[in-house]
Chain A
Amino acid sequence: GESVGLHLPTLSVQEGDNSIINCAYSNSASDYFIWYKQESGKGPQFIIDIRSNMDKRQGQRVTVLLNKTVKHLSLQIAATQPGDSAVYFCAEIDPFGNEKLTFGTGTRLTIIP
């Protein structure tokens, strides 16, 4: 079945530097991906999404890249700030028409002041 996973469980980045969080998926039929940010004690917060008809999408300080050939997506955060410290999840919508999100285990991003 489909799965979504992350390459690294933790990532430390100097404040002001850029960070890249990676995610792999296994189902080539997957066509909609979302990045969520989860701070301690809070629910996941929507950051940005991308559909399979795109390979790049930009938001405020964030960019998501989708490489369908190798089934990989990444989240780039520019000029990281202390408030970016959180766990980041990539998630995919069930490609078979259901509405459920399948999440990876997450990457904990720590911003070093």
Chain B
Amino acid sequence: GAGVSQTPSNKVTEKGKYVELRCDPISGHTALYWYRQSLGQGPEFLIYFQGTGAADDSGLPNDRFFAVRPEGSVSTLKIQRTERGDSAVYLCASSPGRGGTQYFGPGTRLLVL
């Protein structure tokens, strides 16, 4: 597609379970970002990839969160031992490269019961 896509659009899981959220960036975009948005708040930065490597993971809240981008395109955000406080919209964005405009996907709405 023309824009950033994210799957699933909604995910309901139980406390303690493992989840994976997928992001397909705009074709040709080398930079990819994950953000988390809680209700009524602005998005908060989690991690930034330039190519295959995580250039900045300072926003990941703890070691239950991990993200990969093995081939420099699709990225997966992984959350282990989910907690109710992880419930939020997880947004992915991509840009043509360093300093480029970040274009967002529709997000994955995660609900941890």
Contact = CB atoms under 8 A, between A and B. Distances in A.
Interface in B4-30: 4
Dominant SS among interface residues on chain A: strand
Interface residues of B, number: 28
Given A43-B91, A100-B48, A105 B42 contact: yes
A102 B101 CA distance: 14
Nearest to A32: B99
Contacts of A89: 42-43
Contact of B106 (A43, A46, A105): A43
From A44, A46, A49, A105, name the one whose CB has the most chain B CB atoms within 10 angstroms.
A44
Given A44-B43, A99-B33, 15 more contacts: A43-B104, A43-B106, A43-B107, A46-B102, A46-B103, A49-B101, A89-B42, A89-B43, A98-B55, A98-B58, A100-B33, A100-B45, A100-B59, A105-B40, A105-B41
20 contacts: A34-B102, A43-B91, A43-B93, A43-B107, A44-B91, A46-B102, A49-B101, A91-B42, A98-B48, A98-B56, A98-B58, A100-B56, A101-B43, A101-B102, A102-B45, A103-B44, A104-B42, A105-B41, A105-B42, A106-B41
